[in-house]
Chains A and B, each alone.
Chain A
Amino acid sequence: MFHREAGVFKTTYASDMALYPLPIAKWTMVGLAVLFAIVLPMTLEEYYLSILNLIFIAVVGALGLNILVGYTGQISLGHGAFMSVGAYTAANLAVRLGLPFWLTLPAGGLMAAFIGALVGIPSLRIKGLYLAIATLAGQLIIEWTINHVPAISGGAQASIEVPRPDLFGLVLNTQFRLYFFLLFFAALAIIATLNLIRSRIGRAFIAVRDQDIAAEIIGINIYRYKLLAFAISSFYAGVCGVLYTYYFGIANYEAFQLIVSIDYLAMIIIGGLGSVLGSIFGAIFVTLLPIVLRILLENVGLLIFSESELANVISGTRLAVFGGLIIFFLIVEPEGLNRLWRNIRSYFRVWPFSY
């Protein structure tokens, strides 16, 4: 990730597909692992850990959406709803049956995968705009159902309180403990995605994205792979929803509305479509943006706005800056932050002797 290559010396496909192109890349990974697993949790305060925790959750969701949008070329405006499916499945299982998180988490993911594949069925016949509208309808219908069926939503305010997960008797009730819990799943999601993309399935996804007719001609069953992409992507979304639920200790449909679907789309567009690193960049960026904006506005905004207006202004600015960034990146840098990162790297590749 940070090394500079002297050139491209790959002679086999296997070396081209390798996760670690050079031994030093492996050491970078080890370094990052040490940084995140030991150095950061030991040094950072509770508040910063909570931000990192939110980023970890967002990484899982962004990776999932990127598999669908970036790699398979479909579009989904329903990922917020898929998250809520995972969240409510896990919350119901945890509260009613008292199941531990290592059962509710995959259960939430699988349920979301099932519903996601169901919503993805229109993708077999339609694409582009029509698919966007169909998934939008999915989002609205799922939101409505959860809100109106007390058997799912637990009645009042459509929210269910969930006990904190416990690991071998250790209750994960502080940011510090949750940090390792969430770090594990974020790392798992990153590794799983990296490997999924270099597998047969991942290449089929990319083929479907690039040219679906050509993909079908070379023997890829595009129906199966499109549904699979929806299912895998929604599985990630479901897991992300479960993690949110455990993190906040409550499953609430308001945390998974249409705006969340759009936030995640913003993440992968700003970060970079079709790139794992981009998903991570996007998750970091989109999670940090409102925090930075709030700090900025709380300090500067009081000069212009009154105290009572400020809350409005902050949420409004957040929306506006988000939208503006989406448009900006679409027009100026469609490949997102990932591309900027690559540009920086390729600049330094031959530095200081350009040409």
Chain B
Amino acid sequence: MSEDFGFFIALILNGVSIGLMYSLIALGFVLVYKSTDAINFAQGEFVMMAALIGAVVVGFNVSPIVGAIAAVVIVLAVMIGFGFALERVVLRPLLGRPIVAVIMATIGLASVLRGLTPIIFGGETRALPLPIPDDPVVIGPATLPPIQVLGAGVAILLFVGFNWFFKKSRMGVAMRAVADNQQVAQAMGINVERYFALAWAMAGIVSALGGIVWGSMLGVDVQIAVVGLKVFPVVILGGLDSIGGAMIGGLIVGLVESLASGYLDPYVGGGTKDFAPYLLMILVLMVRPYGIFGKRQIERV
């Protein structure tokens, strides 16, 4: 009995830490959707790009700590620049166009990034080692890889940070105003286009950190972009425009995955982990499409 219970707790803890790492990526999606109503199907590719650049920087083999700091700084700078450039070149011309156009544009972008990165960086899998201890972290009956704990920590820090940003800072409030009603925001003297660009840059920041953490955990190659597909169950569960929702959604997806692979895999022969979140998502879409914390302004047909 107690062994069963220990197994359960281990699954829960693993689910929570993985879930927080999912919500880290989902956060980038939510930030963009919340303030610009644009949908980023390339979130996974953002993460891939950040991880690749990080791996290249670390690959220069200076001392581990300097390398890691340099990687974080450079990746952040590149991704912020990329966010700004992307908004200017791709998203702004599509303002006011049907939502399908924006979806397709970001899918096209995902395809471009996925195609170009192996050409530029080569196809092999790179390592992205971070200067953290190798010993697994033991919490009660569970042993977690240290990178998961780090990832969960980064996610929590970002959530606290963005929560403060949106609630208290002047920029954050302006951003919420833009999200709420673009015309009124403009009338109040807010430069709407600048905040759109800012939102994409913030998505760049989140992807940069997410990319470094995920890349360090999985190893870096094109396949890492698949993590981006997990974003959708997370944001649908939590609500597309809710930062807290991204966190809760991530936790739910992480838990569902962990429990499903712990309890169901022995019966069906594996792989439930890749499947259960989407099933859950479809159910949520049918019952409560705006998610747990999303605004109830979904357009009914």
Contact = CB atoms under 8 A, between A and B. Distances in A.
B118 A326 contact: no
Interface residues of A, number: 50
B278 A141 contact: yes
Contacts of A320: 111-112, 114-116, 119
Contact of B108 (A73, A132, A137, A330): A330
Interface of A: 69, 73, 75, 121-130, 132-134, 136-138, 140-141, 144, 147-148, 212, 222, 226, 262, 265-266, 269, 309, 312-313, 315-327, 330-331, 334
B118 A327 contact: no
Contact of B101 (A126, A140, A330): A330
Contacts, number: 145
A39 B283 CA distance: 54
Given A130-B298, A316-B116, A320-B111, 12 more contacts: A73-B100, A130-B236, A130-B289, A133-B232, A137-B278, A137-B281, A266-B108, A313-B119, A322-B111, A323-B110, A323-B111, A331-B105
Contact of A326 (B105, B113, B269, B298): B105
Interface in B245-301: 268-269, 271, 274-275, 278-279, 281-282, 285-286, 289, 298-301
Interface in B98-127: 98-101, 103-105, 107-119, 122-123
Using C-beta atoms within 8 Å of the partner chain, give the interface range for chain B: 35 or more
A222 B232 CA distance: 27
B100 A326 contact: no
Contacts of B229: 136, 140
23 contacts: A125-B285, A126-B289, A127-B299, A128-B103, A129-B103, A130-B236, A136-B232, A137-B232, A141-B278, A148-B269, A262-B111, A265-B104, A265-B107, A269-B104, A312-B118, A313-B119, A315-B115, A316-B118, A320-B116, A323-B107, A326-B108, A327-B105, A327-B109
Contact of A323 (B109, B122, B301): B109
B168 interface: no
Nearest to B39: A129
B138 interface: no
Nearest to B123: A312
B140 interface: no
Nearest to B106: A327
